[in-house]
Amino acid sequence: MKKLSLLPVAALVGVLFFQAIQKPEVETHPILDLDAPKMPAKVKAVVEQKCYGCHNAESKNEKGKKKLDWDAFEAEKKAKQLAAMSKINEVLEEGEMPPKKFLENKPEGKLSEEELAILLDWSAGKKKGGE
């Protein structure tokens, strides 16, 4: 009879023991992080104000929509996002976005120096405020 009364005590000790053992935390490197990068608030604001009009799923600008669709961007896998960010950085550095022809009709679409810096830092993978 005494053996049976020790069984619940042994079970309780076992449960407490296994709860006390913690799994080691695995450090993740930003590049190896499996979660796709989230777009910081400052970047989202610039994209919505200056880029989204031509680069969205419902845009009449077929060329812009084909090259970059912001509606699909955050749903993409990390590798595709990083490739797109690299291309965005390249195009911005070369001064190709927004296109000169577009700016002739809509000069308000020109990126300010601050907006350009925000997009360049983000697309280059530099972390700054606003995340």
Residue 71 has a pLDDT of 87
Structural domain count, the chain:
1
Give the angle 50-112-62 at the CA atoms, nearest 5°.
25
For residues 54 and 102, the answer to whether their CB atoms sit within 8 Å is yes
The reply to whether 20 falls in a domain is no
pLDDT tens digit sequence for 52-102:
988 988 888 888 888 999 989 888 898 999 999 999 999 999 999 999 998
pLDDT tens digit sequence for 14-61:
677 767 666 555 444 444 444 555 789 999 999 999 999 889 888 888
The reply to whether 13 falls in a domain is no
| Residue span of the structural domain in which 118 resides | 35-123
pLDDT band at 130 (very low <50, low <70, confident <90, very high): very low
